């Protein structure tokens, strides 16, 4: 399993799932028509790569991640952007080695792409009929160096060094000629001397550049592509037949690739793929998520003929525990590697460029789906203790209405005569988390006019200075869709909304507008409340610039011009404790000023709001920063928290089960049409 850039509908903070294609869920810049934008100064690859890594790190630091964790996550995910690195951290929040500084292990492969690769993979799959052998631990490749270690902060330099070294390949090396070789314990393909000389030269330069920043690499000079080794002697005839079926002159492009692996995976005795989910029944059991990988201790191995329990470590979460062996199957060790960079160097046509989206080796949508399952399953296993079922889920007992914590079961459709309900909603997908903060640089011309260059980008934006969007990002098209789906779901459950309060962030205003439109409440006024804004500790240098109510009105949003916001000052040096107290204060004010009119209250704000606005309301103490980060990972876009008032006890509220279903979806990476020209 390899990491690929992709969208994961993920909450900002520190616990788990998905992107995965950051071209769709993350941070990489977008291709646009150069005729539209003014010319930009071209930067070297080395400068661009290092700058992108620094940008990703800065964003993660601003989100509250520690520098050590942010660098570790970026290294573990191939420096593919903030979204994917956040997903990795979110899923590893309970990993006992999360704060361990042990470096990852790296290796450089030469990989075939095209018809030859298809034939090699076909042989690789069919050879499994001859029993598992060492060659099945890795996909077809040529090893260019031994495994080496690099610190997490050196990853960007490593990428740049490989790019520059790959570009130095002798232009006379235009193809690789292969020769078949077979012995009693090895079957493979050897590379011609001319190609070897060129590749060794490339790796010599990479070796030298890496040494300049403290990374020691040992290149290989005996270059070959292994087809089968460590097999049973009686299988050699079948294996030779399969190997000789490969057309050695089949069309092929050769890419030089950098991979890395977790040191725990490197030294495990066996890697297992989860084929059946399992929810722990005892404290020592490991939760199994279908598609995850489990590494076993160096001296252990699963006997597929025995239904026994084994101890393993999850690739997705880093957690360890016992698992039933018959719920897993043996798989290749390289399934868990991260592909950092891939550069076509031999047999490629057209412009020389980096390739990140190799569909033949990396199923990033599956990775994204795995992270989504981590978040959903973790949520189901770690629900807050104060949470109670929604009234419509309570079943009668002995012909009488069920009572849960003194809350009577009531129909979900409520009115001013029934118990009030408070709905707190997180906004939909935001543009900067999807396209990276660089989206502003490529989305406005010299006159400040907005230019749309992706179908997931909004068709238009309110007229304002481009830099004002820096900390006040709008929704994507996907975000507006999520908001409407949520509104339709509330409508289907006959939920009534009587009062609407919204954070001043544009993405929250847009979410509220779309949601209300789906509820047929588009004329409902929006009370814009700055005190509902998210944790100010994420904005240490400057406060966001928001549109005021008059500007929102001109942009087509129903802002209430008569609403007087709370006199609560926002400070850039805000602490977590102060943030929770601020959130509690504004919620009490909102509930108090709507009490006489009665009815349900809708608050559209941010991921932390679902917890910070309800935590003290239900009688719980504020969380610490690490506790808040853990909760945030369970709050994807358009999540809903629902509190219900006790009719018998004044000012008593309780969290209840949200009345609507969850809305999970997979990723959709950016389409690069030029891949078809290779």
Which residue reads 């209250």 in tokens?
601
DSSP string for residues in 475-540: B-HHHHHHHHHHHHHHHHTT----EEEE-SSHHHHHHHHHHHHHTT-TTSPBEE-GGG---GGG-S
244 assigned to active site: no
Distance of CA 490 to the CA centre of its chain: 28
Q: Do the beta carbons of residue 84 and residue 75 sit within 8 Å?
A: no
Q: Which of 104, 141, 159, 606 is catalytic?
A: 606
Q: Do the beta carbons of residue 441 and residue 463 sit within 8 Å?
A: no
Relative to beta strand 421-426, strand 527-528 is unpaired
Q: Which long-range contacts (CB under 8 A, 24 or more apart) does 230-234 make?
A: 230/133, 230/134, 230/135, 230/185, 231/130, 231/131, 231/133, 231/135, 231/185, 232/130, 232/131, 233/184
Distances (CA, A) of 250 to 50, 121, 265, 296, 411: 37, 13, 34, 39, 67
DSSP string for residues in 546-560: ---HHHHHHTT--B-
Q: Which of 427, 484, 507, 582 is catalytic?
A: 427
Q: Do the beta carbons of residue 160 and residue 45 sit within 8 Å?
A: yes
Q: Among 89, 87, 46, which residue's Cα sits nearest to residue 66?
A: 89
Q: Do the beta carbons of residue 587 and residue 554 sit within 8 Å?
A: no
267 assigned to active site: no
Q: Do the beta carbons of residue 344 and residue 252 sit within 8 Å?
A: no
C-alpha span between 32 and 36 (Å, rounded):
8
Q: What is the DSSP-derived secondary structure letter of residue 113?
A: E
C-alpha span between 114 and 384 (Å, rounded):
51
Largest CA distance in the chain: 88
At 123, is the secondary structure helix, strand, or coil?
helix
Can you count the helices (H) and strands (E) in the chain?
Answer: 18, 19
At 429, is the secondary structure helix, strand, or coil?
coil
Q: Among 116, 107, 118, which residue's Cα sits nearest to residue 254?
A: 116
Which residue reads 């399953």 in tokens?
377
582 assigned to active site: no
Show Cβ contacts of residue 435 under 8 Å, excluding neighbours closer than 6 positions.
Answer: 26, 27, 30, 454, 457
At 441, is the secondary structure helix, strand, or coil?
helix
Q: Give me 408's structure tokens.
A: 């009577």
- Cβ atoms < 10 Å from Cβ of 405: 10
Which H helix or E strand runs over 53?
helix 45-62
Torsion of CA 633, 634, 635, 636, to 10 degrees: 80
Q: Give me 44's structure tokens.
A: 């070297």
C-alpha span between 156 and 52 (Å, rounded):
8
C-alpha span between 302 and 314 (Å, rounded):
15
Which amino acids are annotated catalytic? 426-427, 606
């Amino acid at each position: 399993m390899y990491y690929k850039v992709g969208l994961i509908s993920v909450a900002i903070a520190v616990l788990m799932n998905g992107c995965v294609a950051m071209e769709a869920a993350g941070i990489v810049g977008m291709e646009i028509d150069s005729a539209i934008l003014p010319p930009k100064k071209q930067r070297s690859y080395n400068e661009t790569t290092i700058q992108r890594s620094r940008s990703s790190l800065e964003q993660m630091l601003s989100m509250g991640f520690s520098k050590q964790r942010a660098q570790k996550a970026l290294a573990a995910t191939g420096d593919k952007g903030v979204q994917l690195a956040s997903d990795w951290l979110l899923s590893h929040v309970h990993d006992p080695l999360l704060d361990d500084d042990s470096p990852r292990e790296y290796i450089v492969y030469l990989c075939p792409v095209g018809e030859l690769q298809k034939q090699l993979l076909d042989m690789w799959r069919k050879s499994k009929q001859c029993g598992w052998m060492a060659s099945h631990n890795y996909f077809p490749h040529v090893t260019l160096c031994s495994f080496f270690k690099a610190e997490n902060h050196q990853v960007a330099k490593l990428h740049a060094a490989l790019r520059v070294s790959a570009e130095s390949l002798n232009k006379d090396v235009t193809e690789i000629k292969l020769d078949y070789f077979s012995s009693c314990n090895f079957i493979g393909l050897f590379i011609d001397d001319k190609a070897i000389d060129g590749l060794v030269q490339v790796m010599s330069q990479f070796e030298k550049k890496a040494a300049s920043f403290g990374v020691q690499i040992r290149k290989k000079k005996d270059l070959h592509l292994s087809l089968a080794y460590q097999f049973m002697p009686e299988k050699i005839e079948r294996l030779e037949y399969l190997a000789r079926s490969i057309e050695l002159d089949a069309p092929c492009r050769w890419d030089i690739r950098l991979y890395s692996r977790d040191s725990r995976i490197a030294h495990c005795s066996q890697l297992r793929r989860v084929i059946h989910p399992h929810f722990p029944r005892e404290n020592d059991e490991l939760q199994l998520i279908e598609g995850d990988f489990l590494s076993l201790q160096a001296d252990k191995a699963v006997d597929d003929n025995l239904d026994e329990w084994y101890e393993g470590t999850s690739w997705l979460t880093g957690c360890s525990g016992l698992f039933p062996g018959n719920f897993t199957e043996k798989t290749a060790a390289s399934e868990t590697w991260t592909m950092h960079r891939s550069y076509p160097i031999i047999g490629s046509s057209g412009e020389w460029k980096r390739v990140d989206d190799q569909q033949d080796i990396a199923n990033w949508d599956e990775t994204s789906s795995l992270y989504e399952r981590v978040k959903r399953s973790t949520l189901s296993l770690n629900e807050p203790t104060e949470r109670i079922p929604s009234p419509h889920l309570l079943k009668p007992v002995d012909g009488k209405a069920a009572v849960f914590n003194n809350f009577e079961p009531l129909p979900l459709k409520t009115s001013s005569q029934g118990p009030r309900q408070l709905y707190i909603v997180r906004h939909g997908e935001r543009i900067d988390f999807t396209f990276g903060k660089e989206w502003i640089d490529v989305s406005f011309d010299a006159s400040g006019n907005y230019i749309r260059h992706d179908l997931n980008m909004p068709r238009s934006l309110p007229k304002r200075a481009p830099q004002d969007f820096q900390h006040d990002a709008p929704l994507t098209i996907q975000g507006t869709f999520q908001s409407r789906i949520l509104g339709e779901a509330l409508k289907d459950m006959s939920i009534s909304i009587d009062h609407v309060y919204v954070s001043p962030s544009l993405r929250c205003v847009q979410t509220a507008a779309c949601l209300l439109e789906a509820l047929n409440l588009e004329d409902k006024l929006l009370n814009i409340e700055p005190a509902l804004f998210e944790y100010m500790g994420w904005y240490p240098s400057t406060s966001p610039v928001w549109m005021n109510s008059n500007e929102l009105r001109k942009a087509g949003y129903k802002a209430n011009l008569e609403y007087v916001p709370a006199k609560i000052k926002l400070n850039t040096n805000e602490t977590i404790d102060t943030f929770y107290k601020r959130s509690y204060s504004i919620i009490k004010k909102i509930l108090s000023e709507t009490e006489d009119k009665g009815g349900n209250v809708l608050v559209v704000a941010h991921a932390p709001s679902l917890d910070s606005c309800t935590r003290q309301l239900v009688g719980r103490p504020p969380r610490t920063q690490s506790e808040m980060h853990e909760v945030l990972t369970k709050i994807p876009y358009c999540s809903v928290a629902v509190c219900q008032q006790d009719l018998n006890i004044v000012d008593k509220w309780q969290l209840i089960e949200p009345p609507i279903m969850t809305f999970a979806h997979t990723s959709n990476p950016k389409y690069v049409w030029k891949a078809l020209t290779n």
